[in-house]
Amino acid sequence: MDRKRTTPPPPNPNPSSPALLVTRAAASPSKAHMLAFHFLRALSRIHRVTPVRRRTRTIRRAAYSSMARAAGPRRAWSRALLGQARSRRARTLARRAVLVRRRVLTAAAPSSPAARGGGRFIAAGGETSAAAASRAALPPRQAGEPPRADALRRLVPGGDAMEYCSLLEETADYLRSLRAQVQLMQGLVDLFSCQ
Amino acid sequence: MSSRRSRSRQSGSSRITDEQISDLVSKLQDLLPEARLRSNDRMPSSRVLQETCDYIRNLHREVDDLSERLSELLATSDMSSAQAAIIRSLLM
């Protein structure tokens, strides 16, 4: 313990000082605090309540939800994420009864395991065939829009409904928040593994 | 590409000019991880979009990995000292 106190915190990517955990996360400290507040609150709830086998999935969802809450409703991507979380919660309750019946009838494999990647997380909101078809058939909104924009629309939450110009703006903001969230989580992992 | 000049007809009330689009694209380029390594010349927008997509996918993957590590660490770590450290970092 004394060794840690005498040496000053070196400027390396794994700081011994936990203060860098928060200030590193975003340009303005208040945004970083909001992000940390929402995510840590969710983490403590998960630690108390969630059974161990569902934790990874729940933590991942909590990461995106706290990102969206910290960003607030003024961004289209955060609104889309919060709406997806809300509708998923509502659908889970309805689907449970259906799944039990289906499992008994077909004895097929249960629904897919923890979805990898945020893309699947976003697609979980539109799993119905109608939504998938509309997503596949979406033409570019503007004549000069490059075809790559379709892939970007799928990655950014709420991207399907945006004009190309807004898509670029939302992507920049989403990217910044995502980076801050990753840095926050990385800092937490460092913190917990140093104990 | 030749229809760029007539794009102003597409949007409703506001004219979305070419410059605005390329301005946004260059902002995206600055956000990319290797923005400092490259020269400040603008990359073609398709390249910027491609790299942005890859970057977002990487970040999604990192969120998954970190979620998994966090769930393992939550089970094993000593909560009281970690909590004190977190509160300290938030108050500073």
Looking at the complex, report in whole angstroms how far the Cα of residue B45 sits from the nearest Cα belonging to chain A.
8
**Other Cβ atoms within 10 Å of A156 Cβ, number:** 27
pLDDT at A21: 56
Q: Report how far residue A125's alpha carbon sits from residue A170's, in angstroms, rounded to the nearest whole number.
A: 19
Contacts with A24 (C-beta within 8 Å, 6 or more apart), sequence order: A32, A183, A187
Chain B: give the shortest CA distance to residue A73, in Å: 21
pLDDT, one tens digit per residue, over B6-41 is 444 444 445 668 888 888 888 888 888 876 666 667
A-interface mutation test, from B11, B52, B72, most A Cβ less than 10 A away: B52
Report yes or no: B84 at the A interface, CB cutoff 8 Å.
Answer: no
Judged by phi (left if over 0) then psi (alpha if -120 to 50, else beta), residue A51 lies in beta
Task: Please judge whether A56 and B67 are an interchain contact, meaning their C-beta atoms are less than 8 angstroms apart.
Answer: yes
For chain A positions 34-63, those within 8 Å of chain B (CB to CB) are 36-37, 40, 43, 46-47, 52, 55-57, 59-60, 63
Do A152 and B3 lie within an 8 Å CB cutoff? no
Which residues fall within 8 angstroms of residue A162, CB to CB, at 6 or more apart? A76, A141, A153, A170
State the Cα torsion A153-A157-A163-A169 to the nearest 10°. Answer: -100
For B5-20, give one letter per residue: b (16+ CB within 10 A) or e.
Answer: eebeebeeeeebeeee
Q: pLDDT tens digits, residue range A37-78?
A: 899 888 888 888 888 888 888 899 999 999 999 988 889 999
Residues of chain B with Cβ-Cβ distance to A59 below 8 Å are: 67, 70-71
d(CA A142, CA A145): 5
Q: Would you give the DSSP letter of residue A111?
A: S
CA atoms within 13 A on the CB side of A102: 9
**A185 near B61, Cβ under 8 Å?**
no
Interface of B with A in 13-42 (CB under 8 A): 16, 20-21, 24-25, 27-28, 31
For B76, list phi and psi in degrees, rounded to 5.
Answer: -105, -20
Q: Is the ipTM of this complex over 0.85?
A: no
What residues of chain A score a pLDDT lower than 50? 1-6, 9-18, 111-136
What pTM does this model have?
Answer: 0.68
> Using CB atoms within 10 A of its CB, is residue A39 exposed (0-12), middle (13-18) or buried (19+)?
buried
* pLDDT at residue A101 in the model: 81
Report phi then psi at B33, rounded to 5: -65, -35
Q: How far is B14 from chain A (nearest CA, A)?
A: 11
pLDDT at B42: 72
